[in-house]
Amino acid sequence: MMKRISFIALFYFFIAQAFSQSLVEGKWSQIRRGNVNWTEKSVSLKECLLVYDDSYASPMRFSFEAEVPKGVEQVQIWGGFGYKDRNNRYAIGLRGGNNNDIYLNRYTSGGNDKMLGLEKLDFNPKPGEKYKITVVQNGSRILVFLNDEKLPRISVEDDLPIVDGQIVLGGGWLPVNFSEPNVARIDEAEFEALASLDIYERPQLSAQQKETLRQKQRKSYKTKKVKLESGRTEVSLDGDWLFMPTYESGEGKSSSVPSELDDDWHVMQVPSFWNLAGNWNHQSVKKKTYGASDNYLDEEHKRVESYTFDSDKTRSAWYRQWIDMPKDLGDRRFSLHFDAVSKVAEVYVNGELAGSHVGMFGDFEIDVTDKIKPGKNLVAVLVRARDEERADDADDNVTVAVTIEVSNDMVNSLPRGMFYGEEGGIWQPVKLVATEKAYISDVFANVRTDGGDMEIELKNMDNRSRTMNVGIELYDLSTGKLFFKSERKKSIMIAVNGTGKIVCKTGKINPKPWTPWSPNLYKLRVLVENDGQLLDSKDLNIGFRTFTKEGNKFYLNGKVFHAWGANHPPCGIRPNDEKLANKFMKFMNEGNQLSTRTHGSPFTKVWMDAADKQGVAVSYEGSWPWMMIKSNFMPNESLLKIWREEQLALVKKYRNHPSIMMWTINNEMYFPMFSHNETKEFKVKKWTVISDVIKEIRKLDPGKPISADSGYGRLPEDYEQNLKPNGIDDGDVDDRHIYFCWYNRDFYQIYKGEWDKRMYWTPGANPDRLFYSQEASTGYPNNDDGHFTRKYIFDHYVPHAYIGDLSWEDRDPKYGLERHALLTKEFAETVRRTSPESAGLNLFANLTWFKDVIYADKIQPYPVLDAVKMAYSPVLVSAELYARHYFSGTDFASRISINNDSHDGESIENAKLKWKVSHEGVDLISGEADVPKTEHGGQSFVDIEGKLPLDLPVSKADCQFELELWKENKKISSNAYPVLVAERAWLEVKEKLEGKKIGLYDATGETKQAFESLGIDFIELKDLTQTRVYDVDVLVAANLDSQYEEFYNLGDLSTMASNGTGVLLLHPAHHMEHMMAGDFNHYYLRKGRFANMSEEDHPVFDGIKRMEMSWWTMGENEVLGIVRRSFCIDPDSKSVKPLATFIRTHSYLMGASKYLPKYSGAPMVEIDKGGNVIIASELELNTAENDPIPAKLLVNVLDYLIEKGK
């Protein structure tokens, strides 16, 4: 039966056909500055959008064709519909490059913007190929089709729909050729037919295909064959394991029995998780729009979709590994070593329970000597990992670990770092270890820079006492040559089933020390003999170094070590990728990031080995972030016991790694912040849990600094009154977490030495304690294209405070990346320059500083990496800049700081500072200065000054202020800052304002001074009543905020505007509420250093770049600014529109539509007075005297008002 098409649908169909031929210039309006090139049948757009003049109403179908020209780097095709204004519309994108997706979002004022849909493509859009995008909308329901496909790629229900409006072409930043725009109304029946379609999904394996694949994989599975060597044998059991989810087999113990057939089992890789794995910002694995890395999410879905079982249904599973042992096992001890299993494991050998373990991160060893036999053996592991929601069987016991009964609810609550929480599996390596019955059970290399004491623990599981002769050897890993050998072996007699400890001392042997800049490694070999026969040997890599605390400083090998670094590497999302671990750590080391923190996930051995090898000092953080953060709450004692044992096991496992610089108990437990309502006794109870672990760590690894909590700062009164009297050890570190240049204000907030003082929620530095921030965040670019992580764009509007609507994903990511790099660099420099007593700084989060961070062969750094490399130069030469924009012919001066953290540990003497300001390789000004002696770990200062030339190569020059430090004809440090220099001719005062009658009433004289300095002629008005006397082209009423009393004749200004005179109100403050009652709700008093062009193509912004709306010069040695306050426009106002907007820096907005209007406003607005105009501004335009950007804006505003008044 044919579908009926209504007459009205046919009518709109023919209109659409006519419209598809109407791609002509006169019917479209350009929004934003950018390039528009018309041809007969197409239009090319770059960095702008076109809006069709006529509107549509839903239900409708809108389509267009588009092609990115060959030679362009990638496909970014954008269009839209539902256009009401630039802040209220839908945007649709087809993204190639490193995105490969189709994208739909809605822009809606007031914090109601929403990401609606994102679907990965099964092909890579390429420049030079034409694509067709079709949108079908009926009210809140929206479908998006691609090319001539019959199924929609996106099908969504919008909870705040825009049901009619105008269509849009463009909106992206790369050139695109558009053709064949087509909009048509459709009837309800046709829409319902389309809406009933299933969404397009990439092809997946059918059940039969999965079964075929399973059979193939099962057939290729091979039993592990073990060959026993003399002494110690370690056999990796990694690789293919047989796998059976319990939803298929049940949890019955028959799966552990060798006689149970396993031909129908699946094959699973070990180490890995069996389900979707996510960590930190990458943990939202089931929500496609989070946006830390869409590619990581896609890779994870592809991984689990490739399995022959249903990973979503798998909450617990059996693993099997068949091991073929030799006929002669000798009198040996056999053990299975698991680096980590998530979360509960029961281990069986040949059907017998051998042991169990609870916890996601701790390693464990199980003695299987009495269960291993010659020939085929079966190792079976039952692994349980439930989701994070409380299950109906939450109180049922799932296993017994030692003496702890573990319920399902406890499994859900087990420490999981910052993993998603549902991850299950044998996710770190497994090995079978064979030794003699008398063997080495542990080695602790207690090293110094000149040697070490090797503490060796031994066990004797033999049926007779054994004499064990112990010696050590050291090999230089870089050459393989023997460096040291014990002259004599030390002997110890160990009884049956006994243990013993022996210390082998090297004496003073002067090895090459381990440092981040020279990560020298040695292989320590421990040898145990009896009657001339080798009983056991154990190899481990070590380095000779000491990390200690003295006063308020870290010391490395006896010299001050400022721990400049960043965290955290992507261990949590690639825990076993050795190649990536080494590549990432190499990036860190070469980028002067010489320390890190194991945030999100405790490092695995792969990542610790990489830190050792590449030279990155590690603060090893525990596995339970936010433990006990809740006021008056203590976790289950059994869970605390599991956590405590896991924490100490990790310390014991990794303490020999030379890169370990300190231990951090957990992340952000924040006892001082959330303990206000707790009794003293309860506070002490919580602290005792932490203190006991700290004391145990001090025994296991003496001398290393310890942070009691990453985020904790000691409150002296709390310590003296509560902690100290109760014997509480609160560690060695005041560990500030703070978010300058992201949630908090920019680095100018600490420009005058405020860094180590009390601020926000953190108490600041204490004498004789390390003041060391392990989480100093400056923002989170995504790992796909460099836009900020989508959650922070749409849900929290965090980057908007710094780059405004350039945050959105249809804008060029370079703006965010460049500002992020600059902010991060100068924040780190400011800490070093203004707070030399700081022990270090760990910027956060450096896994976001890379494109393709999950691929060792593709990973590429964003600009922030090189920026931080400069900020973390061992010898830092940095500038105080109380100006970023300069007029030509004016003085240029700066105070230069030299911080000496040189790797040689020596002072700097007889050095010379060279500096210059240059434009495209041409020096505008330069100079030299002698530098005072700068001690190692210390600081010195040099003041430089000069005069910029009057004439420039161009009237407005983007320049570099460059610094170089030289010693004995060798450059030992350099730095650079972007600055702007402009000639006064660039302002076009004469061209635009000469002969114009400008009336100025100035309540303070500041604007008058600015006018005079710029050569703007004006008629000075003594008071506003004179507006009735003088006939002017434009009237400026300035600095009205200096007078609290209401101006009785403000109405005259409104009348003047209505009569054709342009009016500029500069800093009118509260007077606007009286003058424009009903249009303004209130004004926002927050000052700011960043403003956003709401209409970047407005004439007032001619010649000004968007990123120049920040950091205006406020005066000599004054912190920079731009916004004094902002107007809050009534949403229903028809006569007021924002020209510039401001959003205060802020953290998470839990309900953006509620909070964003409270945190934002418009510091410059245009008021329509019947076709004539008033502009009201709270931007710091009085700074025009010293800064060319506000000067240009002021001239533009006056010119615009004069033109509008003609």
Reading the block at residue 1088, the tokens are 């700011």
Average pLDDT over residues 72-93: 98
pLDDT in tens, 145-161: 999 999 999 999 999 99
Question: Average pLDDT, stretch 274-293?
Answer: 88
Least confident of 16-30, 360-374, 503-517: 16-30
Residue 1038 has pLDDT above 90, yes or no: yes
Question: How many degrees, rounded to 5, is the angle at CA 1113 between CA 1142 and CA 984?
Answer: 110
Q: How far apart are CA 151 and CA 208, in angstroms?
A: 24
Give the residue, 1132 or 1108, on which the prediction is more confident: 1108
Q: Could you name the CATH architecture of 563-871? A: Alpha-Beta Barrel (3.20)
What is the C-alpha to C-alpha distance for residues 653 and 1099, in angstroms, rounded to an integer? 65
Q: What pLDDT is recorded for position 601?
A: 94
State in words which class domain 987-1204 has. Answer: alpha beta
pLDDT digits (tens, 9 = 90+) for 907-931: 999 999 999 999 999 999 999 999 9
Look up tokens 């494109």; give the residue. Answer: 851
Q: What angle do CA 31, 36, 37 make, to 5 degrees?
A: 160
- Helices 578-590, 605-614: inter-axial angle, 10-degree rounding: 30
Predicted local distance difference test score (pLDDT) of residue 643: 97
pLDDT digits (tens, 9 = 90+) for 11-62: 333 334 434 436 777 799 999 999 999 998 999 999 999 999 999 999 999 9
Q: Is the pLDDT of residue 4 over 60?
A: no
Give residue-wise pLDDT tens across range 733-760: 999 999 999 999 999 999 999 999 998 8
Average pLDDT over residues 1068-1073: 86
Let me know: does 381 contact 316? Beta carbons within 8 Å.
Answer: no
- Between CA 323 and CA 331, with CA 326 as vertex, the angle to 5 degrees is 110
Nearest to 973 by CA among 998, 942, 952, 1002: 942
**Which pLDDT belongs to residue 40?**
87
115-124 pLDDT, tens digit per residue, is: 999 999 999 9
Nearest CA-CA partner of 632 in 685, 690, 691, 682: 682
Q: pLDDT category, 252, cuts 50, 70, 90?
A: confident
CA 1020 – CA 992 distance, rounded (Å): 19
- 267 membership: H or E segment, kind and range: strand 266-270
- The answer to whether 102 and 119 have CB atoms below 8 angstroms apart is yes
pLDDT of residue 1081: 78
- Specify the CATH architecture of the domain 875-982: Sandwich (2.60)
Q: What is the pLDDT of residue 1117?
A: 87
| Mean predicted confidence (pLDDT) in 490-508 | 96
For residue 588, the model assigns a pLDDT of 99
Residue 238: the pLDDT is 99
Cis peptide before 1190, with omega less than 30 degrees from 0? no
DSSP state of 21: T
Does 205 score more than 80 pLDDT? yes
Torsion of CA 192, 196, 197, 198, to 10 degrees: 150
The pLDDT, as a whole number, for residue 1149 is 87
- Give the model's pLDDT for residue 411: 54
Q: What is the pLDDT of residue 22?
A: 62
CB within 8 Å of 1194: residues ≥ 6 apart: 1010, 1014, 1181, 1184
- Positive or negative CA dihedral for 699, 704, 707, 713? positive
Residue 398 pLDDT level (bands cut at 50, 70, 90)? very low
Q: CA-CA distance, 761 to 781, in Å (whole number)?
A: 26
Residue 1135 and residue 1147: Cα distance in Å, rounded? 32
Q: How confident is the model at residue 164 (pLDDT cuts 50, 70, 90)?
A: very high
pLDDT at 1077 over 80: no
Query: pLDDT > 70: what percent of the chain?
Result: 95
Q: Give the pLDDT confidence score for residue 412 in this predicted structure.
A: 66
Quick one: pLDDT at residue 316?
A: 96
**What pLDDT score was predicted for residue 202?**
86
Q: What pLDDT is attached to residue 413? A: 85
Find, among 183, 155, 181, 185, the residue nearest to 170 by Cα.
181
Contacts of 825 (CB under 8 A, 6+ apart): 864, 867, 868, 870, 871
Distances (CA, A) of 352 to 186, 257, 260, 348, 1076: 69, 8, 13, 5, 84
Give the closest residue to 614 by CA, choosing from 752, 545, 521, 498: 521
pLDDT tens by residue, 765-799: 999 999 999 999 999 999 999 999 999 999 999 99
Report the distance separating Cα 1200 and Cα 1195, nearest Å: 9
User: Which residues touch 206 (CB under 8 Å, ≥6 apart)?
Assistant: none
Q: What local confidence, expressed as pLDDT, does residue 287 receive? A: 74
The torsion angles phi and psi of 542, rounded to 5 degrees, stand at -135, 170
Q: Classify domain 7-195 at the CATH topology level.
A: Jelly Rolls (2.60.120)
pTM of the predicted structure, to 2 decimals: 0.95
pLDDT number for residue 1076: 74
* Predicted pLDDT of residue 706: 99
Confidence of residue 954 (pLDDT cuts 50, 70, 90): very high
Condensed to tens digits (0 to 9), the pLDDT of residues 699-722 reads 999 999 999 999 999 999 999 999
The pLDDT, as a whole number, for residue 1070 is 85
**What is the rounded CA–CA span in Å between residue 791 and residue 47?**
24
pLDDT band for position 437 (cuts 50, 70, 90): very high
CATH superfamily of 445-542: Immunoglobulins (2.60.40.10)
pLDDT in tens, 610-634: 999 999 999 999 999 999 998 898 9
Query: What's the CA gap between 788 and 823, in Å, rounded?
Result: 14
Say what the pLDDT of residue 9 is.
Answer: 37
The pLDDT value recorded for residue 1047 is: 60
- Domain 207-433 top-level CATH class: mainly beta
1078 vs 170: which has the higher pLDDT: 170
Please tell me whether residue 779 adopts helix, strand or coil conformation. Answer: coil
Instruction: For residue 278, give the H/E element and its range.
Output: none
User: Tens digit of pLDDT for each residue in 124-144?
Assistant: 999 999 999 999 999 999 999
Angle at 1116 between CA 1110 and CA 1118, to 5 degrees: 55
First to last CA, the chain: 66
What is the pLDDT averaged over residues 230-242? 97
pLDDT at 402 over 70: no
Comparing 7-195 with 207-433, is the CATH topology the same? Answer: yes
Q: Domains of the chain: which residue ranges?
A: 7-195, 207-433, 445-542, 563-871, 875-982, 987-1204
Name the average pLDDT for the chain.
93
